[in-house]
């Protein structure tokens, strides 16, 4: 099931990003800081009472054009309403109720979405009385918090999590492969959906943003059951929606969480742009299997080296998604389309691959014998034991004498050796270093 999404909405300078950072804690620091995948602080992950959720900082959404400040805040609120399960509406205790607050409050109230009213900058008991004027917004009980001091964050998350959807069993069985088509507007995701299904199930238009919603379509091919998730869409027309690039990332978030495999669709005619990296980066961070699908290959001027050159461009732009295969297709002519589903099945299988512990230890022992870890201030890393603890993605724990001696370059070396031995094509691998204890 997809993780619930919390969106933080409010006018500028009320402290949205500070609260965002408080909620996601150290998780942003834990996310791999590797070149080749663009990062921003628009979205993150949090956990409360053993329930994971995604959180969106709408302060990271830039509205193009010469909109007034009020229009910009309103547009960001509308984007959040589209995607969020729960909305945290942030206001400023020091500033009091403003016209912009009232405008956004009315918009949120009409959305019928659950709203938690957070009054920031309540830094001491003397300010506690200042929250009561915010009852006038008609949202409900205000919760006094302080982003700078970390006050009231638990109460805020308690209130927000009370509105999370029920954590129901997954709609589809384990044998079903769920894959999501993700990518920026107008790269041909809906056309690809129709081409794969062989029928016009999704409205296709050359105008960016014509798909209204994420659409799940179950189908079966050669005895294998699939669910294809088309994430093309924007539910509303309008220049704000079409020009807000990061909205494509927001749209992809829910679908990626429910998918086993993310098909990152790239326009073969236009090439790779920065937004492609934002969208691919979320699939990578979510630990999903991934395939780069280069669409519109029929209209690309090419020779016998063009495909190889484009593949190299993908490798250069997405340095640490080298595990993801590249497939060139044309939704319009169905060129090479028959190659796509077999690759989806292959990477889904690799995503679920579990390696026996003794085989994993043999490979890592040989890797260490061939290339021992370097010393650090006279100390040398010693690997005692290796075991795989999870799949989707494959997650491996390395028990060592001193975890701080594990350098990222040596970890990457071990990952490469593991991939060479067992494959894991199309899926990220998570390596965790832990100190060996007597219990282990």
pLDDT in tens, 246-265: 555 666 677 788 899 999 99
How many CB atoms neighbour CB 418 within 10 A?
22
- Residue 104 annotated as lining a ligand binding site: no
- Residue 384 annotated as lining a ligand binding site: no
- Residue 233 annotated as lining a ligand binding site: yes
Q: Which residues of 350-362 are buried (b: 16+ CB within 10 A; e: fewer)?
A: bbbbebeeeebbe
- Residue 127 annotated as lining a ligand binding site: no
Whether residue 6 contacts residue 85, with contact meaning beta carbons closer than 8 Å, is answered with yes
Task: Write down the pLDDT at residue 68.
Answer: 65
Task: Write down the pLDDT at residue 430.
Answer: 95
Res 229 pLDDT > 90: no
- Residue 294 annotated as lining a ligand binding site: no
- Residue 120 annotated as lining a ligand binding site: yes
> Where is average pLDDT lowest: 5-14, 41-50, 262-271, 305-314?
41-50
Whether residue 108 contacts residue 139, with contact meaning beta carbons closer than 8 Å, is answered with yes
Q: Give the residue, 207 or 251, on which the prediction is more confident.
A: 251
- Residue 98 annotated as lining a ligand binding site: no
- Residue 90 annotated as lining a ligand binding site: no
- Residue 276 annotated as lining a ligand binding site: no
Residue listed under structure tokens 């659950």: 114
Q: Give the residue, 166 or 354, on which the prediction is more confident.
A: 354
- Residue 10 annotated as lining a ligand binding site: yes
By residue count, the chain amounts to 440
Enumerate residues 6+ apart whose C-beta is below 8 A from 366.
417
Task: Write down the pLDDT at residue 86.
Answer: 94
- Residue 61 annotated as lining a ligand binding site: yes
Cis peptide upstream of residue 315 (ω within 30 degrees of 0): no
- Residue 46 annotated as lining a ligand binding site: no
Residues 305-319 have pLDDT tens digits of: 999 999 999 999 999
Three-class SS of residue 313?
helix
Q: Look up the pTM and report it.
A: 0.74
Three-class SS of residue 13?
coil
Q: Give the residue, 208 or 79, on which the prediction is more confident.
A: 79
- Residue 250 annotated as lining a ligand binding site: no
CATH superfamily of domain region 357-435: K homology (KH) domain (3.30.300.20)
Cite the residue boundaries of each domain of the chain with CATH code 3.40.50.300.
5-161, 177-351
Torsion on CA atoms 400, 402, 403, 405, rounded to nearest 10: -110
Q: Which helix (H) or strand (E) is 239 found in, with range?
A: helix 239-243
Residues 65-115 have pLDDT tens digits of: 455 666 766 776 777 777 788 999 999 999 999 988 998 898 888 888 999
Residues 31-41 have pLDDT tens digits of: 444 555 444 55
Q: Give the residue, 251 or 327, on which the prediction is more confident.
A: 327
- Residue 293 annotated as lining a ligand binding site: no
- Residue 15 annotated as lining a ligand binding site: yes
Q: Give the residue, 434 or 233, on which the prediction is more confident.
A: 434
Report the percentage of the chain scoring pLDDT > 70: 81
- Residue 17 annotated as lining a ligand binding site: yes
Across the chain, mean pLDDT equals 83
Cite the residue boundaries of each domain of the chain with CATH code 3.30.300.20.
357-435
- Residue 183 annotated as lining a ligand binding site: yes
- Residue 13 annotated as lining a ligand binding site: yes
Pairing of strands 383-390, 395-400: antiparallel
Give the span between the Cα atoms of 274 and 226, in whole angstroms: 30
- Residue 371 annotated as lining a ligand binding site: no
CATH superfamily of domain region 5-161: P-loop containing nucleotide triphosphate hydrolases (3.40.50.300)
Domain 177-351 has CATH 3.40.50.300: yes
- Residue 190 annotated as lining a ligand binding site: yes
> Where is average pLDDT lowest: 29-38, 117-126, 134-143, 216-225?
29-38
- Residue 238 annotated as lining a ligand binding site: no
Whether residue 264 contacts residue 408, with contact meaning beta carbons closer than 8 Å, is answered with no
Enumerate residues 6+ apart whose C-beta is below 8 A from 196.
228, 337, 340, 341
Task: Write down the pLDDT at residue 57.
Answer: 82
Q: Give the residue, 294 or 194, on which the prediction is more confident.
A: 294
Give the span between the Cα atoms of 354 and 303, in whole angstroms: 41
- Residue 154 annotated as lining a ligand binding site: no
């Amino acid at each position: 099931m997809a993780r619930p999404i919390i969106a933080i909405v409010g006018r500028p300078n009320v402290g949205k990003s500070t609260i965002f950072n408080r909620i996601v804690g150290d998780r942003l620091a834990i996310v791999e800081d590797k070149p080749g995948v663009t990062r921003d602080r628009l979205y993150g992950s949090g956990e409360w009472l053993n329930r994971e959720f995604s959180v969106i900082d709408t302060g990271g959404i830039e509205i193009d054009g010469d909109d007034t400040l009020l229009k910009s805040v309103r547009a960001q609120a509308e984007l959040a309403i589209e995607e969020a399960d729960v909305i945290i509406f942030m206001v400023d205790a020091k500033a009091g109720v403003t016209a912009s607050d009232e405008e956004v409050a009315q918009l949120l109230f009409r959305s019928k979405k659950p709203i938690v009213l957070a009054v920031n900058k309540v830094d001491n008991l003397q300010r506690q009385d200042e929250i009561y004027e915010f009852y006038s917004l008609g949202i409900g009980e205000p919760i006094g918090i302080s982003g700078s001091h970390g006050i009231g964050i638990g109460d805020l998350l308690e209130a927000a999590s009370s509105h999370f959807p029920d954590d129901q069993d997954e709609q589809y069985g384990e044998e079903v492969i769920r894959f999501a088509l993700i990518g920026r507007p107008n790269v041909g995701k809906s056309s690809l959906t129709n081409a794969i299904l062989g029928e016009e199930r999704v409205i296709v238009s050359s105008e960016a943003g014509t798909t209204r919603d994420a659409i799940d379509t179950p189908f079966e091919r050669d005895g294998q059951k699939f669910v294809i998730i088309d994430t093309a869409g924007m539910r509303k027309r309008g220049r704000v929606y079409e020009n807000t690039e990061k909205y494509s990332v927001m749209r992809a978030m829910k679908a990626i969480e429910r998918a086993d495999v993310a098909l990152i669709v790239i326009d073969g005619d236009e090439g790779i742009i920065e937004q492609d990296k934002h969208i691919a980066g979320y699939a990578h961070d979510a630990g999903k299997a991934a395939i780069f699908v280069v669409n519109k290959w029929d209209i690309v001027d090419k020779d016998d080296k063009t495909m190889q050159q484009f593949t190299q461009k993908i490798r250069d732009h997405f340095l640490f998604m080298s595990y993801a295969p590249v497939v060139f297709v044309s939704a319009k002519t169905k060129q090479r389309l028959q190659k796509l589903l077999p690759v989806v099945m292959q990477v889904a299988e690799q995503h679920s691959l579990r390696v026996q512990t003794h085989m994993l230890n043999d490979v890592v022992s040989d890797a260490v014998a061939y290339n021992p870890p370097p010393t650090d201030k006279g100390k040398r890393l010693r690997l005692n034991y290796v075991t795989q603890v999870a799949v989707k993605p494959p997650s491996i724990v390395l028990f060592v004498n001193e975890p701080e001696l594990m350098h990222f370059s040596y970890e990457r070396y071990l990952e490469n050796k593991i991939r060479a031995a067992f494959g894991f094509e199309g899926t990220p691998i998570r390596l965790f270093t832990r100190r060996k204890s007597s219990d282990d």
